[in-house]
Amino acid sequence: MAEFDSILILAIFLQLISTSVNYIGMTIQKKAATKIPKIGPETGYRRSLKNLIINKAWVFGLGLNASSTFFAAGAFALASITIIQPLYGFGLIVLVIFIRFYLKEKITRLDIFGVLFGVIGIVVIGITAKSLPVVSYTDLLDLFLHFRGIIFFAVFLSIALISYIVSEKTKKTTSLIFLVISSAIWTSTQNIFNKAVATAVRDAGFIGAFFGEAWLYSWSFVLLFLLVSIIGIIMLNIAYQQGHGVIILPIWTAIQVVVPVLSGIIVFREWQLGTGGYVGWEIAVQSVGIFVMLASIVILSISNGRKEEFSKTLASVEENGESTEVLKLNSKEDVITQTELNNNN
């Protein structure tokens, strides 16, 4: 088992806080987005932006997301992205607890399975977690500007652009899938730029990072971070308004893990074998942990999406003045919820 040190433990702790705050903020934003006029050319982009800004719940959720960025930055500055980013799924576990006690929703069997997978994934990743040799900001810039880094970003951002174009040309469900893929890729790359900014501040301090010799690179990373974040958030809120949480959440959340982890492997070479790095069995075990964490993410996202779909159906029924009866039946897969409409009222 790899030896833990205080720096690595602190990095993991910061990421767990970050992802917890982020998911709570996203949930608040998601609910707020469904109550404002549709975002897009029909409403007008300027008006759409104003509708978001004047919505207090949406702004509060955005504030939580923004604050989570600082915790994540601390984590990325202290540890490798291949260890830190798979822990993003921990936020879904916290979300299950948050929804249970804050929104008074029932914890289903699917939730329990998802939480168990998540705990197992965290433990398995922790078995091989180790502090790799510190990568300086200068070395990090070289990795970004290396042909591997350039090709990596060119490929994934091209996929994001193509996915958006396809979403504009296809029918509703297919369009939603490609829109979510595009949104997820944009927002996932913010973690990579966040790591660059955090590393600059770690090595040179705030003044040195933004007003020293490498100021141009630091400000460029900040602008790239803001650009991909804004694009991703707008696309995600458009997707929220189209509904289908069962489709949106598993795709979006899984990509948040996959893209940054691939950047750690391909761009930053964090799985490079050799002295001070990983050995073969550690990479194998860490890969298993990542896949288990992804399984947890998909299971909890599907469960959350199902709850959203039912809540919308129930709200629609109540708005029509019809009575509802919710029957909670145990099944092998989950809690089955059935709505009975009484049209005689």
Domain ranges of the chain: 6-308
Exposure string (b/e) for 324-345, b if CB count within 10 Å is 16 or more? eeeeeeeeeebbebeeeeeeee
- Per-residue pLDDT for 326 more than 50? no
Structure confidence at residue 345 (pLDDT): 43
Over residues 132-149, the mean pLDDT reads 89
More confident residue, 294 or 14: 14
35: number of Cβ within 10 Å: 11
Q: What share of the chain is helix, strand, coil (3-state, %, to 5)?
A: 75, 5, 20
- Per-residue pLDDT for 324 more than 60? no
More confident residue, 162 or 5: 162
* Residue 218 near residue 200, CB atoms below 8 Å: yes
**For residues 217 and 145, what is the distance between their CA atoms, to the nearest angstrom?**
11
Over residues 84-97, the mean pLDDT reads 81
CA atoms within 13 A on the CB side of 135: 22
H or E element in which residue 337 lies: strand 335-339
Confidence grade of residue 96 (pLDDT, cut at 50, 70, 90) = confident
CA geometry: angle 109, 115, 120, nearest 5 deg: 130
Least confident interval from 33-42, 146-155, 198-207, 246-255: 33-42
Q: What are phi and psi of 328, to 5 degrees?
A: -105, 110
pLDDT in tens, 237-285: 788 777 666 677 778 888 888 899 999 989 998 887 666 667 778 788 8
- Per-residue pLDDT for 226 more than 90? yes
**For residues 51 and 40, what is the distance between their CA atoms, to the nearest angstrom?**
11
- Per-residue pLDDT for 130 more than 80? no
Structure confidence at residue 104 (pLDDT): 66
- Tell how strand 326-330 and strand 335-339 pair up: antiparallel
- Per-residue pLDDT for 196 more than 90? yes
Over residues 280-307, the mean pLDDT reads 81
Greatest mean pLDDT range, 110-114, 163-167, 305-309: 163-167
More confident residue, 251 or 337: 251
**For residues 165 and 284, what is the distance between their CA atoms, to the nearest angstrom?**
37
Structure confidence at residue 210 (pLDDT): 93
Structure confidence at residue 310 (pLDDT): 58
Structure confidence at residue 4 (pLDDT): 53
Q: Across the chain, what does the average pLDDT equal?
A: 80
Structure confidence at residue 1 (pLDDT): 42
Percent of the chain with pLDDT over 90: 26
Q: Which two tokens stand for residue 239?
A: 């997707």
Structure confidence at residue 290 (pLDDT): 86
Over residues 204-221, the mean pLDDT reads 92
Q: Which two tokens stand for residue 16?
A: 């767990």
pLDDT in tens, 45-73: 678 778 778 888 888 988 888 899 999 99
